[in-house]
Amino acid sequence: QKTEERLSFQAEVTKLLDIVVHSLYSDRQIFLRELISNASDACDKLRYEALTQPALRDGLGEFRITLRIDAEARTLEVADNGIGMTRDDLVHNLGTIAHSGTQEFVRALAASDKKGDATLIGQFGVGFYSSFMVSERVDVFSRRAGDAQGWHWQSDGGGDFTVAEAEVPSTGTRIVLHLREDAKEFLETYRLRSIVKTYSDHIAIPVVLLDTDKDGNPQEETINEASALWTRPRSEITEEQYTEFYHHVGHAFDEPWHTLHFKAEGAIEYTGLLFIPSTKPFDLFQPDRKTHVKLYVNRVFITDDAPDLLPAYLRFVRGIVDSADLPLNVSREMLQHNPVLKKIQGGLVKRLLGDLKKRAEAADEYAAFWEVFGSVLKEGIYEDFERRTDVLELARFRSSTTDGWVSLADVVARMKTGQEAIYYITGDDPEYLKRSPQLEGFRAKGVEVLLLTDPVDEFWINSVPTYQDKPLKSAASSAAGLDQVADPETRDEADADKAPEDQIEALAKALKDTLGDAVKAVRASTRLTESPVCLVAEEGDMSLHLERMLKQAGQ
Ligand code: ADP
Ligand code: MG
């Protein structure tokens, strides 16, 4: 114990542990799912590293995750022969919260100060730290593949933990849970069997229960299915199994909104098991716009960071792709601009957009998706030239004349006689836009205007000249062309009240002289029916909303 160090948890971890330890939480058996999930990830990582450094696996045998019960000592052990952890890994991985999303979650949880919010833990998951829901103390023994030195990490879930050098006989990680008095149920083999069946059946690595028979002879029993879920036929997979797999692979805790499981045959063969979440992942708007589909080659995990597997506008998708048409020893560098991956990407995008199109037929269900991920999908309109029309057709908008969501096709179908363009207006708030004086003329003629309030709208709108041959035009532009739209039959011709041309001109000139450089021009307009004046952008100029956005950003 010569090297023992005592270190403090990151403040967020201490808060989290305080909640985890002190809340009465009914779904606490999920700690086992979390530990098995980590063990499986650790085996995947070593399997990948060993492709180029086979010596790392010398003497390790087949990958497996073992559960061992010691009823007398009241301990449950979860061990793996995966990648293992160095001292620094232990300190960092088990002492801080790496995911910024989890950090935000913890702050919210601690601030709410309702211990009853512990149900959120189950929905959200706290990974390794969930061990403390059932343990009064946790020991972690670990040795990183390729290292001779092992380490012992220990904590009682208070504010600190210790790390020390330790004899660890073989590569991998062994976690010893000293169960709380009220958690003795997890010493029962039938209980463990049932938890593993429920939550970890899809894990591709065998989960082995080590036990002794009545004569004291050691016994081993594999208690999960231990084949990669995506290799099984769809008809044999239940919805619960898909959901559990999604939780594992996506580090997610919601229900998937959509599940897509398929085998692509042809020039390149691959299997995909993809999920669209129902809630927003925390990193959705991080600047790196990282995608989250894991790449496997013949069931060997390669990377969760393959650059070309999916375009950034589909970064909300979770899941795996497994192909036999990439070399097993493919390095992460070789994956850059890889033609096989490019082809797979084409296939994945096509299927995903195709499924979205089908699901868009159920308007309410689709709205639930659109409200969560629409602003991300719309990036595809200007980033995926080839599929721009497909993405445009999937897009839904708020409109000045209709409640709920409308599509461009709806708007075209409702165009008025003489209306030649699809109109839109950009801004922050749809309710405010609806009442904008700039739309007065449109309201009077019953012309529908799309209310674009996502920041991303400013980016794609200029890259789409037409939809179904109709130009997209800003209602706030001077050249909106509203004059050509037929007046509703009931509208009075107000010509009698019309001021003489020369007076209008004189007024416009007087206004321009007074306002000076603040405006480009002052013109008489037919777009206003109630307000005396409104601001418009010159055709070809930046929209007023974009100008405001850039000003706020300090540009
Ligand atoms: P997550 O799995 O979402 O990253 P966890 O809290 O479950 O979060 O685990 C934190 C980190 O600790 C993991 O990302 C991994 O780096 C490390 N870790 C946990 N368990 C193991 C294990 N059995 N073997 C190797 N590393 C592990
Ligand atoms: Mg985990």
pLDDT tens, residue by residue, 289-343: 899 999 998 888 888 888 789 999 999 999 999 998 888 777 777 788 888 999 9
Give dist(CA 438, CA 553) in Å, integer. Answer: 25
Q: Which range (52-56, 390-394, 472-476, 491-495) has the least confidence?
A: 491-495
Spatial contact of 356 and 396, defined as CB atoms under 8 Å apart: no
216 is in an annotated binding site: no
**How high is the pLDDT of residue 480?**
67
**pLDDT class for 143, splitting at 50, 70, 90?**
very high
**How high is the pLDDT of residue 338?**
86
Q: Ligand 1, from 128, 247, 248, 282: best to mutate by most atoms within 8 Å of Cβ? A: 128
pLDDT score of 115 more than 70: no
3-state secondary structure of 138: strand
Percent of the chain with pLDDT over 90: 55
pLDDT score of 121 more than 70: no
**Whose CA is closest to atom 19 on ligand 1?**
38
**How high is the pLDDT of residue 107?**
74
Mean pLDDT, to the nearest integer, of 98-117? 67
pLDDT score of 239 more than 80: yes
Report how far ligand 2's centroid is from the alpha carbon of 33 (Å): 9
Give dist(CA 69, CA 233) in Å, integer. Answer: 34
Mean pLDDT, to the nearest integer, of 130-136? 94
Give dist(CA 218, CA 216) in Å, integer. Answer: 6
Ligand 1 contact, 253 CB (< 6 A): no
Task: List the shell of residues around ion ligand 2, using CB closer than 5 Å.
Answer: 38, 127
Other C-beta atoms lying within 10 Å of the C-beta of residue 536: 23
Give dist(CA 83, CA 70) in Å, integer. Answer: 25
**How high is the pLDDT of residue 165?**
97
369 is in an annotated binding site: no
Print burial letters for 358-394: b (CB count within 10 Å at least 16), e (below 16): ebbeeeeebeebbebbbbbbbbbbbbbeebbebbbbb
Closest Cα to residue 172, out of 328, 61, 6, 331? Answer: 61
**How high is the pLDDT of residue 292?**
92
Report how far ligand 2's centroid is from the alpha carbon of 150 (Å): 21
In single-letter form, the type of residue at position 306 comes to: A
pTM: predicted TM-score of the whole model, two decimal places: 0.79
**How high is the pLDDT of residue 496?**
53
Among all bound ligands, the one having the nearest atom to the CA of 153 is 1
Ligand 1 contact, 34 CB (< 6 A): yes
Percent of the chain with pLDDT over 70: 92
Mean pLDDT, to the nearest integer, of 153-176? 96
Average pLDDT, the chain: 88
Spatial contact of 67 and 78, defined as CB atoms under 8 Å apart: yes
**pLDDT class for 222, splitting at 50, 70, 90?**
very high
pLDDT score of 447 more than 60: yes
**Whose CA is closest to atom 20 on ligand 1?**
38
Give dist(CA 310, CA 320) in Å, integer. Answer: 11
Mean pLDDT, to the nearest integer, of 148-164? 96
